[in-house]
Amino acid sequence: MNESPESRPSANKVTLEELLRLKQAERPSAEFWTRFEQDFRTKQLAAAVEKRRWWYVFPQVFSGLPRLQIPLGATAILAVTFLTVREYRQPEIEPGLAPSVPVAALAAATAPASAKEAMPGIDSPVTSTSRFVVETAPTVASVAGAETESETSGWDLAALMEQRESSFELSPSARSIAANRAAAAEMEPELARFIEGQTSTLQLASTREPLAEVTSPRDARRNRLFAYEPSNSTASAGETMVVRERIASRLSEEQLYDQVRRIGGGADRLTLKF
């Protein structure tokens, strides 16, 4: 073909659609289809014999799920709501843990005689109830002896709490521990006292905030200055207080000046010292 495509007259040219139609004419021969069918049969048999992977089951299982989208979604939302409400609801006091005697009754039981006279609504039945509670509950307080009894006679908060604790139903293990401690107190008073001391130390240690115990050098300096006692023994307590107040105000002024000195200003700059 000597004629170049560009040099052809426009009448001898075709449209793009016509040109693409040539692609339709690219067809395989009959032999090709015979071979195609043979190959296909072989592949089909191989595919039938081949064991399917386990994950091929998933599309079949989940193929029906689109129809259940709305019911499943609603169920999921309900389940999540139920679980959330169940997880974060307000804790309710179980009946077993609730005090068997009202607080007013306890207060009446532990109040001094003068206070009882001032409370006209509370009379003897309440007192008998509180006595019953104290008698039936074998607590540490009941075995602690005369000292404890004398302490509970007043408006002491600890005594009130102790009385309140006595009104709770104790667990078997708590009862067993209390009995052991009572026995130890009888047989080995020193050991019992030592255990009491250890327990109270532990309780104190657990309630103390560790960071609160850390003092900064500045606090130490302040405390030293506040602990200043004038050497002149003739100075009165009022004068001492005045001196301390001055020191305190001076301290705050010093801090202020110290902070101001850190900030330096120039004509065109601002410096900050750390």
Q: How far is the first Cα of the chain from the last one, in angstroms, to the nearest whole number?
A: 90
Q: Does position 10 bind other proteins by CB under 8 A?
A: yes
**Which of the stretches 19-27, 105-113, 165-173, 174-182 binds other proteins when contact is defined by CB under 8 A?**
19-27
Lookup: tokens for 223: 């405390």
Q: Does position 191 bind other proteins by CB under 8 A?
A: no
Q: Does position 12 bind other proteins by CB under 8 A?
A: yes
Q: How far is the CB of 61 from other proteins (least distance, A)?
A: 11
- Cβ-count burial 151-166 (b if 16+ within 10 Å, e if not): ebeeeeeebbebbbeb
**Which of the stretches 14-22, 173-181, 185-193, 208-216 binds other proteins when contact is defined by CB under 8 A?**
14-22
Q: How far is the CB of 51 from other proteins (least distance, A)?
A: 13
> What is the C-alpha to C-alpha distance for residues 144 and 123, in angstroms, rounded to an integer?
28
Q: Does position 13 bind other proteins by CB under 8 A?
A: yes
Structural contact between residues 133 and 143, judged by C-beta atoms closer than 8 angstroms: no
> What is the C-alpha to C-alpha distance for residues 48 and 45, in angstroms, rounded to an integer?
5
Q: Which amino acid is at 155?
A: W
Q: Does position 80 bind other proteins by CB under 8 A?
A: no
Q: How far is the CB of 74 from other proteins (least distance, A)?
A: 25
Structural contact between residues 175 and 138, judged by C-beta atoms closer than 8 angstroms: yes
State which residue, 59 or 120, has the beta carbon closest to other proteins: 59
**Contact set for other proteins, span 32-71 (CB under 8 A):** 32-33, 36, 39-40, 43-44, 47, 59-60, 63
Q: Does position 250 bind other proteins by CB under 8 A?
A: no
Number of residues that bind other proteins (CB under 8 A): 36
Q: Which amino acid is at 118?
A: A
Run of H or E including 61:
helix 57-62
Report the 10 Å Cβ neighbour count for 173.
8
State which residue, 60 or 231, has the beta carbon closest to other proteins: 60
Q: Tokens 């170049």 map to which residue?
A: 4
State which residue, 24 or 206, has the beta carbon closest to other proteins: 24
**Which of the stretches 4-12, 118-126, 134-142, 145-153 binds other proteins when contact is defined by CB under 8 A?**
4-12
Q: Which is nearest to 127 in space by CA: 149, 144, 104?
A: 104
User: Which residues form the interface with other proteins (CB under 8 A)?
Assistant: 1, 3-6, 8, 10, 12-29, 32-33, 36, 39-40, 43-44, 47, 59-60, 63
